[in-house]
């Protein structure tokens, strides 16, 4: 159990909802057509098309798992496969949901430092599969931006991986649970951070939202199929305007990037204090560092909450509303270990 007054570095999922998101939901609390027939839901396509500077269709979903898996089910048949990193969230943290939503598609695992894939790793995974009816053939490549270790694909790397996918006839899906943090780190356009993607699970809950993620379809013709799959999966909420309101509040006027920049800045302060303890470069809002059991206990005794990450390691996650005093105190405590 975590003490309610602990200084919170467990997860950005534990962060507060941004006040502007609450306000948008309150403003949406008026009679509107149900499901996704309201004006706010209808406004998502235009808002995200402007954000990415290209036509796209957008569906709201209640969870990142749903957004990822509905995307994959739209791209991959039951007999197909999805190439992803061995430590991708869809492999390690979604309880088999990709197979459930796709009705059996297989995850084909590849390796890469920092949970990042390279063109060579993807090509090797494809090359190991015989082109016959006895083996699962890949239909999609899934990348996480930022990765499960807080690492970020540069625009050139994303473009190269997209090229490999197209060369082999694969669709490209991007799990963007922390996409905002990646874009804030790169200081590039949103499209440059996911260029070549056919689908993107645009994360909002970790970045000031409450209960809404965006499934962005860069091929709008996929939208009808995705909507049918969303309904069949039980994710077509009757009061969808409250999800749409959250998404619009975050992307309008750049709030999503402001929040991500604040979280990233807090992580950089912790990274500076951790110095030689860092297990991965800090590029988004996650800090992985070497800490012994005694050192972790010492930090927790001072009131800091965080997750152990394997043996003699810990993960610290900063959020959009990270308390500067708590961040400074933790940085100071790490420096004194």
pLDDT of residue 6: 76
Residue pLDDT, tens place only, 82-127 = 999 999 999 999 999 999 999 999 999 999 999 999 999 999 999 9
pLDDT of residue 79: 97
Mean pLDDT of 21-43: 97
Mean pLDDT of 274-302: 96
Q: Report d(CA 335, CA 194) in Å as an integer.
A: 36
> Is residue 213 within 8 Å of 66, Cβ to Cβ?
yes
% residues pLDDT > 70 (the chain): 99
* pLDDT higher than threshold 60 for residue 181: yes
pLDDT of residue 67: 98
Residue pLDDT, tens place only, 12-25 = 999 999 999 999 99
Task: Examine residue 146 and say whether the peptide bond preceding it is cis (omega within 30 degrees of 0).
Answer: yes
Residue 278, H or E segment: none
* pLDDT higher than threshold 90 for residue 275: no
* pLDDT higher than threshold 60 for residue 4: no
* pLDDT higher than threshold 90 for residue 2: no
Residue 223, H or E segment: helix 223-232
pLDDT of residue 15: 93
pLDDT of residue 267: 98
315: confidence class by pLDDT, cuts 50, 70, 90: very high
Treating both helix axes as pointing N-terminal to C-terminal, what angle do 241-251 and 19-27 enclose, rounded to 10 degrees?
Answer: 140
% residues pLDDT > 90 (the chain): 97
């Amino acid at each position: 159990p975590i003490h309610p007054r602990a200084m919170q570095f467990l997860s950005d999922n534990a962060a507060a909802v941004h006040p502007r998101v609450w306000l948008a939901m309150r403003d949406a609390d008026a009679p509107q057509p149900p499901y996704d027939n309201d004006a706010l839901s209808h406004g998502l396509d235009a808002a995200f098309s402007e954000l990415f500077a290209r036509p796209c269709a957008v569906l709201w979903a209640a969870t990142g798992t749903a957004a990822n898996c509905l995307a994959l089910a739209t791209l991959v048949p039951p007999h197909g496969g999805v190439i992803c990193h061995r430590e991708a969230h869809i492999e390690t943290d979604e309880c088999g949901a990709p197979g459930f939503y796709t009705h059996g598609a297989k995850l084909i695992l590849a390796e890469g430092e920092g949970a990042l894939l390279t063109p060579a790793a993807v090509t090797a995974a494809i090359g190991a599969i015989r082109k016959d009816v006895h083996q699962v053939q890949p239909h999609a490549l899934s990348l996480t931006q930022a990765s499960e270790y807080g690492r970020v694909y540069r625009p050139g790397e994303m473009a190269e991986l997209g090229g490999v996918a197209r060369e082999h006839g694969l669709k490209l899906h991007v799990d963007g649970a922390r996409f905002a943090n990646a874009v804030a780190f790169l200081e590039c356009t949103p499209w440059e951070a996911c260029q070549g993607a056919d689908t993107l699970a645009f994360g909002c809950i970790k970045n000031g939202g409450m209960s809404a993620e965006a499934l962005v379809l860069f091929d709008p013709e996929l939208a009808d199929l995705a909507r049918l799959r969303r309904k069949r999966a039980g994710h077509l909420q009757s009061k969808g305007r409250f999800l749409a309101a959250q998404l619009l509040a975050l992307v309008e006027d750049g709030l999503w990037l402001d929040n991500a920049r604040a979280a990233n800045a807090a992580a950089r302060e912790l990274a500076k204090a951790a110095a030689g303890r860092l297990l991965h470069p800090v590029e988004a809002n996650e800090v992985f560092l070497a800490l012994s059991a005694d050192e972790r206990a010492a930090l927790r005794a001072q009131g800091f909450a965080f997750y152990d990450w394997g043996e003699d390691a810990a993960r610290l996650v900063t959020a959009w509303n990270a308390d500067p005093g708590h961040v400074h105190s933790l940085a100071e405590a790490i420096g004194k270990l």
